[in-house]
Amino acid sequence: MKDLFKRLEDKAIANKQRIILPESTEPRTMQAADKILANGVADIILIGDATEIAAKAAELGLQNIGKARIVDPNDEQANEKYAQTFYELRKKKGVTLEDARKKIKDPLYLGCLLIKHGEADGQVAGAQNTTGNVLRAAFQVLKTAPGVSAVSGAFIMLMPEGSPYGENGIMVFADCAVIPDPDAKQLAQIAVSTNETAKTLAGISPHIAMLSFSTKGSASHEKVDKVVEATKLAKEMCPELDIDGEMQADAAIVPSVAATKAPGSQVAGKANVLVFPDLGVGNIAYKLVQRIAGATAVGPVLQGLAAPVNDLSRGCSPEDIYKTILLTCNQAIARH
């Protein structure tokens, strides 16, 4: 785990990105920002009132917050251009210019608009806001990357020392955070996006298993058909993927089970990227592996947005926020 974050930190320092923290007076966020600035990892943009931010920094004894750029959501004159952009983006949805001017006072939206205007490279939020609010601002303003149909959320799973699973103990699971009930096309998109996350962030060579309760036709059900169809679509979208399915989790990761249930599969028995058939399965699976197997779950990393925005758990620590900023910087670097 140390190696993963050291690699991400070194890369971020060498290619400094501009990261927005909309929850600017939230203490854990400020502590993480202070450390990011002290280590020269990224340029930080805080959205809030300069006097309040300075007072909070003094109260927390933070020395480096003064290096951050501050954008005031109540500076109506300076922010009119962002209101105009939001209005243009959303007028078809019935948003008026007056609505847009109100909306951009929400730091989550203003942050995404700064990215849209090329003034920042990524955003990290969620220590105070819900997942839905963080995601909705990103969906409405930034939207998906070119060629991507749906945003999803992956976890980089770091297995405990000595575990035989994954590449050097690293696996990637998706979607564990965003799309409650993906159709075959969305599931294919999840596989393609997770392939990219596995390569650029987790630093592994992806072998992708499309998971189901069936292996190679052992059961018939429309839920199995969906996974079979998604596997086919993913191969069409990205022929170089090393992907196979449908298969059960044991066939995906245990060589002896793979030999019996999926002989001849290039992926079965050595999968290090697991794509789950829906969010219920993905979310439960990552939490069980984390708790029962003692794995460290890094994420969720939001994949497929036009620019990186990542969501924090409201129970996060300053260290979690620091690491999420590292992931966001590296996603931004991979985009350029």
Residue 139 interacts with ligand ACO (CB under 6 A)? yes
Nearest C-alpha neighbor of 233 from the set 145, 144, 149: 149
Can you tell me the distance from the alpha carbon of 91 to that of 291, in angstroms, rounded to the nearest whole number?
45
Give the position of tokens 């035989």. 164
Residue 69 interacts with ligand ACO (CB under 6 A)? no
Residue of closest CB approach to ligand ACO: 139
Decide if 138 contacts 178 (C-beta within 8 A): no
* Strand, coil or helix: 111: helix
Select the residue interacting with ligand ACO from 110, 150, 249, 273 (CB under 6 A): 150
Residue 136 interacts with ligand ACO (CB under 6 A)? yes
Applying CB under 6 A, the span of 21-29, 104-112, 158-166, 176-184 interacting with ligand ACO comes to 176-184
Applying CB under 6 A, the span of 33-41, 132-140, 232-240, 270-278 interacting with ligand ACO comes to 132-140
Q: Which is nearer to ligand ACO, 40 or 280 (CB)?
A: 280
Can you tell me the distance from the alpha carbon of 148 to that of 65, in angstroms, rounded to the nearest whole number?
36
Residue 144 interacts with ligand ACO (CB under 6 A)? yes
Helices (H), the chain: 2-14, 27-39, 50-60, 76-90, 97-103, 107-116, 131-141, 184-197, 222-237, 249-253, 255-261, 279-292, 318-335
CB of 297 to ligand ACO, least distance (A): 8
Give the position of tokens 């955070």. 177
CB of 154 to ligand ACO, least distance (A): 10
The two three-digit tokens of residue 97, written as one number: 């210019």
Can you tell me the distance from the alpha carbon of 50 to that of 97, in angstroms, rounded to the nearest whole number?
27
CB of 202 to ligand ACO, least distance (A): 17
Residue 147 interacts with ligand ACO (CB under 6 A)? no
Residue 177 interacts with ligand ACO (CB under 6 A)? yes
Please give the residues from 90 up to 129 whose contact with ligand ACO meets the rule CB under 6 A. 93
Select the residue interacting with ligand ACO from 22, 73, 277, 300 (CB under 6 A): 300
Q: Which is nearer to ligand ACO, 159 or 177 (CB)?
A: 177
Q: Position 247: which residue type?
A: M
Q: Which is nearer to ligand ACO, 25 or 84 (CB)?
A: 84
Residue 282 interacts with ligand ACO (CB under 6 A)? no
Helices (H), 40-130: 50-60, 76-90, 97-103, 107-116
Applying CB under 6 A, the span of 118-126, 138-146, 191-199, 241-249 interacting with ligand ACO comes to 138-146
Select the residue interacting with ligand ACO from 147, 162, 180, 239 (CB under 6 A): 180
CB of 294 to ligand ACO, least distance (A): 18
Residue 192 interacts with ligand ACO (CB under 6 A)? no
Sequence-separated contacts (24+) of 5-9 with Cβ below 8 Å:
5/323, 5/326, 7/203, 8/201, 8/323, 8/326, 8/327, 8/329, 8/330, 9/39, 9/41, 9/326
Residues contributing to the site for ligand ACO (CB under 6 A): 93, 131-132, 135-136, 139-140, 144, 150-151, 176-180, 283, 300
